């Protein structure tokens, strides 16, 4: 119809996929109010059910995947998403470690079903909530419950430009020190996962006088057993240490091990 | 030649777009009569009520926020109110006002998202906001600007806009500073102008005719407020009850024609929550500016056309901006951030007005504050019966429309409710249509 449609230059295509989740991480993309229209100019939003009825067929250059795998159907669907995607990036704690719904992994899911639903036989669910990387290869994992929208923009920009995302792998503690926030554990004995949690939030909770609850998940190589000892010494009960590690990233390896260890003491 | 529906046909949308969460719609028509309407929810269950058991009371606001990334504040507010009721904690008025301010931020963010990004494309004939922006750039910019102010308000009060971190049982971890609050004023003044422009813009849309006799249920707040963070439940049929009686009046039951569980009002049946009921039962509580905007848009003091919910949401945007500006003056940033909270065994109920309507929480707590049981009834579950009734009425009256257009109109009728399927999931059965 117009010259524009005939232009040879092809914009990279973006697909946004949802599995078991709260929609908050996809919302982070729509929350880029100042950048949204520019992003939509640079890339073609080919599949994004929450935002548009339009649905272009794959393959897609970049797929952003929100949510964890909790049903047999979704375990199949993620294989198809992987097949259709040149790059696959998980966004958020659900996609990256199973999310809060992975608390079922530590319980009897049949009992969970009976507790919530009047007719449990209609519920088709797996006994675990698992990360996308447990099912298919993942090209990059963006942490957070929710993700930080600036980090999301950096990841999208990086993949469009064909370079690795520039996202620091350091602890919340490092961000806290840079902000000049007084340590809530040292000063007040407040339980805080800052030393073992991946940065990205800007050390938000300590700046509000509360401890980090680990929503960005474990920093690789973090020494969780040392932190558990520090928390015990500060008078935190083993049961509370377990709860602290067993929330939004409960199924990630190091948080799971730390929660299991403190549970054995309680 | 355009295809029209006749004898025995199925109208279906397998993946509803521009709603929060994953759902599908199925409508069966036989011999010119709508015989079956179903909203299928295939969003996977996440078992929040089960996983809350054994958690500390203080974790409930952060955990239940994760039910919905679009209305986390609503979950935090209902959770806090319920647990404070169980512990017989009175929060300082200053804390209550700050909660109200935070809630205004969520309303602005959520309503702007729905009006501009999810719903307006239906009225203007686009697949989504990105296409719409090509022809209506200024309108989309205005919507994004409004949405950003809502997010900014949530960030200042709550720490961040998705899953705020500053809410606790008893109040807040830290109060915003006087400077932070003052910096919101010019943004909110701009937002109020933008909200007025929004009302004027959406009032020009053309609305399919539909008058629905749903029983309306909303909160009615004390002290002249439009309902947000507190109030008594009232209905258009004259019911009046408080949160602890929620379970006496609202039951979850099987409906024969589908396997879904629906909420219904005892002695009444299906009912509706959200902007239309809130507005119609509380018009007198809107600010004068919001009332005037509604009149200028041609709305009466009640509204019964679900397709006009977009106008009512815009009026509520005006109110939320107006109210936030009032609250900026009323809040004392030097007050204590929270009430003291001493756990005790008991049961507590909380009801607040999420952007999509009534959100009920009930907790049974042990003497050390451990959660023994939890019940959560989100607005979308309560509206399921009303959505299906709207679809039945609308399709029955428009069987002459081409199938594509009728399907699209049905999607629009579902989006009238701004359904949040992620929220509703725990409550609805998952059914697979094998027909």
* B47 with A113: Cβ contact below 8 A: yes
Strands (DSSP E) along A49-191, which ranges?
Answer: 60-66, 85-91, 140-142
Q: Which of A99, A132, A161 is the last residue of a domain?
A: A161
H/E run at residue A110: helix A109-116
ipTM: 0.94
Is residue B435 predicted with pLDDT exceeding 60?
no
**Contact residues, A window 179-218, toward B, CB-based 8 Å cutoff:** 201, 204-205, 208-210, 213, 215
**Pick the residue with more confidence: B91 or B405?**
B91
State pLDDT tens for residues B271-309.
999 999 999 999 999 999 999 999 999 999 999 999 999
Can you tell me the distance from the alpha carbon of A80 to that of A148, in angstroms, rounded to the nearest whole number?
27
Residue A137 lies in a domain: yes
Is residue B366 predicted with pLDDT exceeding 80?
yes
Same domain for A96 and A196? no
Residue A167 lies in a domain: no
Is residue B78 predicted with pLDDT exceeding 50?
yes
Same domain for A204 and A105? no
By the CB < 8 Å criterion, does A76 face chain B? no
Range with the poorest average pLDDT among A68-82, A112-126, B359-373: A112-126
Q: Which of A113, A135, A161 is the last residue of a domain?
A: A161
- In which residue are the tokens 């815009």 written? B314
CATH number of the domain enclosing A130: 3.40.50.700
Same domain for A149 and A260? no
Chain A residues with CB-CB distance to B117 below 8 A: 30, 51
Q: Does the pTM exceed 0.80? A: yes
* B337 closest CA partner among B144, B155, B132, B157: B157
Give the pLDDT mean for A69-73.
93
**Which of the given ranges, A80-84, B40-44, B423-427, has the highest pLDDT on average?**
A80-84
Give me the sign of the Cα torsion angle B342, B345, B351, B354.
positive
Can you tell me the distance from the alpha carbon of B430 to that of A96, in angstroms, rounded to the nearest whole number?
25
Same domain for A115 and A210? no
* A27 with B55: Cβ contact below 8 A: no
Chain A residues with CB-CB distance to B44 below 8 A: 19-20, 70-71, 74, 125
pLDDT for the residue numbered A114 = 81
- pLDDT above 70 as % of chain A: 96
**Inter-chain Cβ pairs, chain A and chain B, closer than 8 A:** 185
pLDDT for the residue numbered B3 = 59
Same domain for A147 and A188? no
CB-side neighbour CA atoms (13 Å) of A263: 12
Give the pLDDT mean for A85-95.
97
* A129 closest CA partner among B398, B154, B45: B45
pLDDT for the residue numbered B6 = 55
Give the pLDDT mean for B57-73.
96
Chain A residues with CB-CB distance to B375 below 8 A: none
CA distance B302 to chain A (A): 30
Q: Which of A111, A133, A161 is the last residue of a domain?
A: A161
What is the SS3 assignment for chain B?
CCCECCCEEEEEECCCCCCECCEEEEEEEECCEEEEEEEEECCCCCCHHHHCCCCEHHHHHHHHHCCCCCCHHHHHHHHHHHHHHHHCCCCCHHHHHHHHHHHHHHHHHHHHHHHHHHHHHHHHCCCEHHHHHHHCHHHHHHHHHHHHHHHHHHHHHHCCCCCCCCEECCEECCCCCHHHHHHHHHHHHHHHHHHHHHHHHHHCCCCCCCCCCCEEEEEECHHHCCCCCCCEEEECCCCEECHHHHHHHEEEEECCCCCCEEEEECCCECEECCHHHHHHHHHHHCCHHHHHHHHHCCCCCCCCCHHHHHHHHHHHHHHHHHHHHHHHHHCCCCCCCECCCCCCCEEEEEEEEECCEEEEEEEEECCCCEEEEEEEECHHHHHHHHHHHHHHHHHHHCCCCEHHHHHHHHHHHHHCCCCEHHHHHHHCCCCCCCC
Who among B17, B121, B159 is closest to A49 (CB)?
B17
Residue A98 lies in a domain: yes
Confidence of residue B403 (pLDDT cuts 50, 70, 90): confident
Angstrom CA distances, B261 to A49, B49, B355, stand at 25, 16, 22
Average pLDDT, chain B: 90
State pLDDT tens for residues B303-326.
999 999 999 999 999 999 999 999
- In which residue are the tokens 């010494």 written? A233
Token couple for B314: 């815009």
Residue A166 lies in a domain: no
pLDDT for the residue numbered B38 = 80
Query: How many distinct structural domains can be found in chain A?
Result: 2
Give the pLDDT mean for B350-378.
96
CA angle A158, A161, A163 (to 5 degrees): 55
- pLDDT above 90 as % of chain B: 74
Q: Which residue of chain B is at minimal alpha-carbon distance from A54?
A: B127
- pLDDT above 90 as % of chain A: 78
Assigned architecture for domain B48-386: Orthogonal Bundle (1.10)
Write out the DSSP string of A91-103: ESHHHHH--GGGG
Query: What residue numbers bound the domain in which A246 lies?
Result: 172-265
By the CB < 8 Å criterion, does A110 face chain B? no
Same domain for A106 and A234? no
State pLDDT tens for residues A121-146.
767 788 999 999 999 999 999 999 99
By the CB < 8 Å criterion, does A71 face chain B? yes
Confidence of residue B5 (pLDDT cuts 50, 70, 90): low
pLDDT for the residue numbered B313 = 98
Can you tell me the distance from the alpha carbon of A254 to that of A196, in angstroms, rounded to the nearest whole number?
9
pLDDT for the residue numbered B259 = 40
pLDDT for the residue numbered A63 = 97
CA distance A208 to chain B (A): 6
Same domain for A135 and A200? no
Average pLDDT, chain A: 91
Confidence of residue A1 (pLDDT cuts 50, 70, 90): very low
Q: Which residue of chain A is at minimal alpha-carbon distance from B132?
A: A52
Chain A residues with CB-CB distance to B70 below 8 A: 23-24, 27
Q: How far, in whole angstroms, is CA A245 from its chain's centroid?
A: 15
CA distance A51 to chain B (A): 5
- Are the beta carbons of B336 and B351 closer than 8 angstroms? no
Same domain for A144 and A214? no
């Amino acid at each position: 119809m117009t010259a524009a449609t005939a232009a040879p230059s092809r914009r990279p295509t973006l697909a946004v996929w949802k599995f078991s989740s709260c929609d908050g991480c996809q919302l982070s993309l729509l929350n880029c109010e100042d950048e949204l229209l520019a992003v939509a100019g640079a890339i073609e939003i080919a599949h994004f059910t929450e935002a548009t009825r339009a649905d272009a067929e794959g393959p897609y250059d970049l797929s952003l995947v929100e949510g964890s795998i909790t049903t047999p159907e979704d375990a199949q669907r993620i294989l198809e998403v992987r097949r259709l995607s040149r790059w696959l990036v998980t966004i958020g704690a659900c996609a990256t470690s199973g999310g809060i719904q992975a608390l079922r992994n530590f319980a009897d899911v049949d009992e969970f079903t009976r507790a919530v639903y009047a007719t449990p036989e209609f519920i088709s669910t797996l006994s675990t909530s698992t990360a996308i990387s447990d099912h298919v290869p993942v090209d990059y994992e963006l942490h957070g419950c929710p993700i930080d929208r600036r980090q999301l923009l950096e990841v999208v920009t990086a993949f469009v430009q064909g370079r690795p995302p520039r996202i620091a792998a350091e602890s919340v503690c490092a961000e806290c020190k840079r902000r000049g926030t007084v340590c809530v554990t040292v000063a007040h004995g407040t339980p805080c996962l800052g030393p073992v949690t991946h940065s990205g939030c800007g050390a938000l909770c300590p700046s509000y006088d509360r401890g980090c609850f680990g929503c960005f998940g474990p920093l690789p190589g973090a020494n969780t057993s040392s932190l558990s000892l520090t928390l015990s010494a500060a008078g935190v009960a083993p049961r509370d240490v377990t709860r602290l590690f067993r929330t939004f990233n409960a199924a990630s390896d190091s948080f799971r091990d730390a929660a299991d260890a403190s549970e054995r003491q309680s | 030649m355009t295809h029209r529906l006749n004898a025995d046909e199925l109208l279906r949308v397998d993946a509803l777009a521009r709603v929060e969460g994953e759902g599908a719609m199925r409508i069966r028509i036989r011999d010119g009569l709508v015989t079956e309407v179903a909203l299928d929810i295939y969003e996977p269950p996440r078992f929040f009520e089960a996983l809350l058991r054994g958690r500390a009371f203080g974790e409930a606001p952060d955990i239940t926020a994760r039910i919905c990334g679009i209305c986390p504040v609503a979950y935090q507010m209902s959770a806090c109110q319920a647990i404070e009721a169980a512990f017989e904690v009175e929060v300082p008025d200053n804390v209550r006002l700050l909660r109200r301010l935070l809630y205004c931020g969520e309303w602005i963010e959520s309503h702007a998202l729905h009006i501009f990004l999810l719903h307006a494309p239906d009225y203007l004939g686009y697949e989504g906001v990105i296409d719409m922006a090509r022809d209506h750039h200024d309108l989309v910019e205005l919507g994004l600007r409004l949405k950003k102010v809502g997010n900014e308000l949530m960030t200042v009060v709550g720490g961040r806009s998705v899953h705020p971190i500053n809410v606790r049982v008893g109040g807040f971890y830290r109060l915003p500073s006087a400077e932070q609050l003052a910096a919101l004023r010019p943004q909110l003044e701009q937002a109020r102008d933008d909200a007025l422009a929004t009302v004027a813009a959406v009032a020009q849309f053309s609305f399919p005719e539909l008058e629905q006799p749903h029983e309306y249920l909303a909160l009615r707040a004390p002290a002249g407020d439009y309902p947000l963070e507190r109030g008594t439940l009232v209905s258009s049929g004259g019911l009046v009850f408080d949160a602890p009686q929620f379970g006496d009046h609202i039951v979850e039951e099987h409906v024969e024609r589908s396997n879904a569980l629906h909420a219904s009002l005892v002695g009444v049946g299906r009912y509706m929550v959200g902007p239309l009921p809130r507005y119609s039962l509380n018009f007198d509580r809107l600010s004068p500016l919001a009332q005037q905007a509604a009149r200028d848009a041609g709305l009466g003091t009640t509204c019964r056309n679900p397709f006009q919910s977009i106008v009512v949401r815009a009026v509520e945007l005006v109110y939320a901006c107006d109210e936030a500006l009032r609250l900026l003056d009323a809040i004392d940033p030097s007050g204590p951030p929270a009430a003291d909270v001493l756990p005790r065994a008991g049961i507590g109920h909380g009801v607040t007005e999420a952007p999509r309507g009534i959100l009920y929480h009930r907790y049974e707590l042990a003497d050390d504050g451990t959660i023994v049981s939890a019940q959560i009834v989100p607005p979308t579950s309560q509206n399921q019966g009303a959505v299906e009734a709207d679809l039945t009425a609308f399709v029955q009256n428009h069987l002459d429309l081409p199938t594509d257009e009728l399907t699209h109109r049905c999607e629009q009728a579902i989006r009238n409710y701004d359904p949040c399927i992620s929220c509703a999931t725990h409550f609805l059965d998952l059914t697979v249509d094998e027909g």
